[in-house]
Amino acid sequence: MPESPRLPWRAVALSTVLALAAATVTYVVLSDDDAPDATSDTIPLTPEGDAPAPDEVTFVTFDDDEVPLSSLRGTPTVVNFFSSTCVPCITEMPAFEEVYQEVGGKVAFLGLAVTDRPEDAQALVDQTGVTYPTAQDPNADVITALGGTVLPTTVLLDADGTIVAIRSGPLDADELRDLLADELGIST
């Protein structure tokens, strides 16, 4: 069996030095002392802030009407962010529909398609059988304002519009039921 060629030691040394330099730069950037702290005016990425969702943030219906996020106040709300290109989003949507049917008028549901083409998002809603209200977050303004960073993300708002929970990653029906019970006191 022929011997596999070896990399020259200079290439290995240079690669190691470049990797260490990249790691150092990453560490310096991520540990920047000028980063905003919890007392700044930024919206927290966790629900500890106990601040209502911002009034100026709007989502867009599939009919291109802008709706303020504050219009959700008055009823506890599940806001689920999805995209037609996000496989975990697609797999969790029927579970959200199942729980939506079970909780009736106790909690509102809103699905928001993040930076998705409207026709693709609407096709996904039809494909998954979702009947709860859905709309668009075309510039990712709502998901950003509510502290989401990945898809899928689910945010629970209490009746006052305060963020009580943020969950990144897919949820099944039982996990969503538990979240509603634990964070909003709503059981099916």
C-alpha to C-alpha distance for 105 and 75, rounded to whole angstroms: 9
The pLDDT tens digits for 74-115 are: 999 999 999 999 999 999 999 999 999 999 889 999 999 999
Q: Name the residue with higher pLDDT: 70 or 34.
A: 70
CA dihedral 173, 100, 181, 167 (to 10 degrees): 60
Q: Which residues pair with 81 in a beta bridge?
A: 112, 153
The pLDDT tens digits for 123-175 are: 999 999 999 999 999 999 999 999 999 999 999 999 999 999 999 999 999 99
Domains and CATH numbers, the chain: 47-184 (3.40.30.10)
The predicted model scores a pTM of 0.73
- CA distances from residue 124 to 12, 53, 80, 113, 154 in whole angstroms, order as listed: 48, 27, 14, 10, 17
